[in-house]
Homo-oligomer: A and B are copies of this chain.
Amino acid sequence: MLSVAVIGAGRIGQIHAANLAARAAETNDVRLAGICDAVEVSAATLATRLGAPVISLDEALEGKGSNAVLIASPTDTHSDFIERAAKAGKAIFCEKPVDMSAQRIEGVLEVVEAAGVPLFIGFNRRFDPNFASLRARIADGRIGEVELVTILSRDPSPPPVSYIERSGGLFRDMMIHDFDMARFLLGDEPVEVHAVGSALVDPEIGKAGDVDTAAVLLKTARGKICQISNSRRATYGYDQRVEVHGSLGLLRAGNQHETTVELATASGFTADPVQNFFLERYAQAYRLQLAAFIDCARGTTLPSPSGHDGLMAQRLADAATLSAQSGQPVRL
Query: What's the nearest-Cβ distance from chain B to residue A188, in Å?
Result: 11
The answer to whether the Cβ of A219 comes within 8 Å of any Cβ in the partner chain is: yes
Q: Do residues A231 and B245 form an inter-chain contact, with CB atoms below 8 A?
A: yes
Q: Give Cα distance in the complex from A247 to B265, angstroms.
A: 10
What are the residues of chain B within 8 A of A197 when measuring CB–CB?
225
Q: Do residues A192 and B198 form an inter-chain contact, with CB atoms below 8 A?
A: no
Q: Which of A183-233 touch B at CB < 8 Å?
A: 192, 194, 196-201, 213-217, 219, 223-225, 227, 229, 231, 233
Q: Give Cα distance in the complex from A196 to B227, angstroms.
A: 10
Pairs across A and B, CB under 8 Å, 6 listed: A196-B217, A196-B225, A236-B264, A239-B250, A251-B261, A328-B328
The answer to whether the Cβ of A249 comes within 8 Å of any Cβ in the partner chain is: yes
Q: Which of A114-151 touch B at CB < 8 Å?
A: 129-130, 133-134, 137, 142-143, 145, 147-148, 150
Contact pick for A266, options B26, B224, B235, B328, CB 8 Å: B235
Query: What's the nearest-Cβ distance from chain B to residue A323, in Å?
Result: 9
Q: Do residues B235 and A265 form an inter-chain contact, with CB atoms below 8 A?
A: yes
Known: A25-B21, A329-B329. A266 touches B236 (CB 8 A): yes
The answer to whether the Cβ of A255 comes within 8 Å of any Cβ in the partner chain is: yes
Q: Give Cα distance in the complex from A199 to B255, angstroms.
A: 31
Q: Select the stretch in A6-14, A62-70, A269-277 that faces chain B.
A: A269-277
**Given A196-B225, A198-B225, 13 further pairs, Cβ under 8 A:** A21-B25, A25-B25, A142-B263, A213-B223, A215-B217, A217-B217, A231-B245, A236-B264, A252-B262, A264-B273, A268-B273, A270-B270, A328-B329
Number of copies: 4
The answer to whether the Cβ of A291 comes within 8 Å of any Cβ in the partner chain is: no
Q: Do residues A261 and B329 form an inter-chain contact, with CB atoms below 8 A?
A: no
Q: Give Cα distance in the complex from A198 to B217, angstroms.
A: 13
The answer to whether the Cβ of A253 comes within 8 Å of any Cβ in the partner chain is: yes
What are the residues of chain B within 8 A of A90 when measuring CB–CB?
none
Q: Give Cα distance in the complex from A234 to B214, angstroms.
A: 27
Known: A196-B192, A225-B215, A268-B272. A263 touches B235 (CB 8 A): no
Contact pick for A261, options B134, B213, B248, CB 8 Å: B134
What are the residues of chain B within 8 A of A142 when measuring CB–CB?
263
Q: Do residues B215 and A196 form an inter-chain contact, with CB atoms below 8 A?
A: no
Interface string of A19-45 (1 = CB under 8 A from B): 001100110000000000000000000
Query: What's the nearest-Cβ distance from chain B to residue A322, in Å?
Result: 14
Q: Do residues B145 and A200 form an inter-chain contact, with CB atoms below 8 A?
A: yes
The answer to whether the Cβ of A267 comes within 8 Å of any Cβ in the partner chain is: yes
Kindly report which residue of chain B lies nearest to residue A251, judged by CB atoms.
B263
Contact pick for A254, options B26, B145, B213, B260, CB 8 Å: B260
The answer to whether the Cβ of A154 comes within 8 Å of any Cβ in the partner chain is: yes
